[in-house]
Every structure is written in C-alpha cells, then in structure tokens.
Amino acid sequence: MKQKLINFSERYATALRTCVTPGSKFALPVAVALGQQAVALGIETLDLARMHEQALNQLNPDAHKRRATPKANKFFTEVNTLIEETHQSARQAEVCLNRMKESLSQRTVELATTNRQLQRGVIRRKVMEAAFEKSGRHHQKCLKESLELQKRLRQLTHQVLAAQEDERKCISRELHDEIAQTLLGINVRLLSLKQEARVNHKGFKSDIASTQRLVAKSAQSVRRVAKEFGSL
C-alpha cells in the first residue's frame, strides 16, 4: 500500500509539473483521473495537500513556481474534488445509515411492544376459552340435571294421577255397591209394605219410617262419596 502511495505521489508531481509548464493547457481529464485514483487508494484531502506541497517544492526556479501557483491550485482543487464529493457522499450515506439505524431501533422497540401485547392477548384468550369451556360444562351439567328433574317430576305426576284414578275407581265401586245394596233394601221394603198394607194398617207406619231411614242413609252415603271425590 505504501508503494502505491509513493507511485501516486510521483504521478501527481509529474502531472502537476506538466500542468504548470508555460504554454501548456490545463489537462482536466488528467486531474479527474488522478482524483479517481486517489479515491480508490483512500487518500484523504490532507494527504493530497502534503503531496501537492512536495510537488510544488520540486518546481524550480522560485519565480517559475510563483507564476505556476494559480494553475497548481486549480489542479489540486480538481483532483481533490472527487475526494470531497466522495466524503460528502459518505457523510450523507452515514447520516442516512444512522437514520435507518434509529428507525430500525424504534421499529424494533415497537415490534417488541406489539409482541408483548400479542402474547398478553393470547394468554387472555386462552384464559377466556378455559372459562367458557368450564362455564359450558357447568351449563351442560345444570341442563342435564334440569332435564332429569323434569323427567322425575313427570313420572311422579303420572304416579299421582294414576293413584288418584285408582282411588276414584275404588270409591266409585264402593258407592255403587253401597247404593245398590241400599236401593235393593228399599225395594224389598216397598214390596213388603205393599203386602202388609193389605192386612196390617198399624205396622204400615213403622215400615214407612224404616224405609225413610234407608233413603236418608243412601242420601248420606252419596254426600260422603261426593265429598271424598271433591277432595281428590
């Protein structure tokens, strides 16, 4: 690398000497080419200034050097232009890079915050799903118990209705038997009264009273059964 810098310094001195030679024209392409080489070698403005000063010191005589100074300065400026432009571009690139780093850092923080929020959301969703699942099982259990109670209630109601129906049938049979027996007794007494009325007028009143008691007893039995039916 050192040898490359030495070679460049020699090329620069030669080009500068040619540029400031009386009667020569300013060779802009040469200055541009040297500027490109300086950029490629990583030469800074201060390094180029030292090379320029050394090249000026090599000019002889002093009067010739003084006359050549304006051309030499112009030559230095043209060579250094690419270096400065490269530095400016590098500075701009560095500014952009720093901005991108800041933006990336901010974006990283935002993403980390969003990620934490998403994780908390996932945890909340899992908790809610577990609660809903537990609540669903509880509701299902309650529904099952309710349906079972309704089934038992229907069975019990059916049993009660069946028992009431059996009781009504039993009472109906008892009423039928009792009334039929009473009516049969009344019928027998009426036949007896019919026969006794022909021969014994005195006993007729007693038989009538007995028959009335049978009728009253029948009416009482009917009221009792009716009351029992009403209480069912």
DSSP for 180-210 reads HHHHHHHHHHHHHHHHHHHH-SHHHHHHHHH
Distance CA 207, CA 198 (A): 13
> Domain end: 103, 124, 154, which one?
103
Check residue 199 and give its pLDDT. 66
Q: Which domain holds residue 211?
A: 164-231
Tell whether 93 and 181 lie within a shared domain. Answer: no
> Domain end: 85, 103, 121, which one?
103
Q: What are phi and psi of 34, to 5 degrees?
A: -65, -35
Cα of 215 vs its chain's centroid, Å: 87
Tell whether 98 and 174 lie within a shared domain. Answer: no
Query: Is the entire prediction scored with pTM above 0.75?
Result: no
Cα→Cα distances 72→41, 48, 128, 148, 227, Å: 22, 13, 82, 111, 143
Distance CA 72, CA 19 (A): 7
Q: How many domains does the chain have?
A: 2
Tell whether 178 and 96 lie within a shared domain. Answer: no
**114 within domain boundaries:** no
**150 within domain boundaries:** no
Give pLDDT tens digits along the chain (232 positions).
788 888 888 888 888 888 877 766 667 788 888 888 889 888 898 888 888 888 888 776 554 455 567 878 888 888 899 888 887 766 666 666 667 777 777 888 888 888 888 888 889 888 888 887 887 788 788 888 888 888 888 888 888 888 878 877 777 777 667 666 776 777 677 677 666 666 666 666 676 777 777 777 777 776 776 676 666 5
